[in-house]
Amino acid sequence: MIKAVMVINTFGKPRLSKFYEFQPVEKQQELIRHVYAVLSNRPDNVSNFIRSLGAIFSPDTRLVYKHYATLYFVFLFDNSENELAMLDLIQAVFVETLDKCFRSVCELDVVFNYSKMHIILDEIILGGQVLETDSVEVVRAVEEISKLESTTSAGTLINKSIPSWWAR
């Protein structure tokens, strides 16, 4: 199963993290830092897998990551997943869906659409199991949810508009 999904930027700031096995929040931060430390030491153009992660992960944990511009997309999983399939999941499913949802995604999209990121991720993975690998399907579901949200929470309209100019 997939154990965790992380999106970390190249300065080590987490942008999204989801752990499919409960971890206390301090441990989460530690794991993210550790993963970043491992990744930031790797040159480009090398393989995207990391097998020996150190003692804080259980021994069968593997890691697949993909480096896009300023972001690392990281999937941690155990040996009941295929490494290349996970890489595909990052490239052809997760990032492609993000691309479709945000029209060529960049780090700012990920930063400011925190909850939408979770919606997208939840459509692809449930409980560490990959459930949807077709990005078209994912986009459709995400759009449905967005529509549902805008109809049920009319109140947000006013509320949202005020602070946005107020904050400027």
Question: What are the residues binding another protein (CB under 8 A)?
Answer: 1, 13-18, 20, 22, 24-26, 28-29, 42-43, 45-52, 80, 82-85, 87-88, 111-112, 114-115, 118-119, 122, 126-127, 129-133, 141, 144-145, 148-149, 152-153, 155-156, 159-160, 162-164, 166-167
Tell me the closest approach of the beta carbon of residue 79 to another protein, in angstroms. Answer: 8
Tell me the closest approach of the beta carbon of residue 104 to another protein, in angstroms. Answer: 20
**Identity of the residue numbered 75:** F
Query: Which of 106, 141 has the CB closer to another protein?
Result: 141
Residues with Cβ < 8 Å from 108, sequence gap 6 or more?
none
Token match 């993963």: residue? 35
Tell me the closest approach of the beta carbon of residue 142 to another protein, in angstroms. Answer: 10
Give the tokens for residue 52. Answer: 């020996």
Burial 42-51 (b: 16+ CB within 10 A, else e): eeeeeebebe
Give the tokens for residue 108. Answer: 């700012």
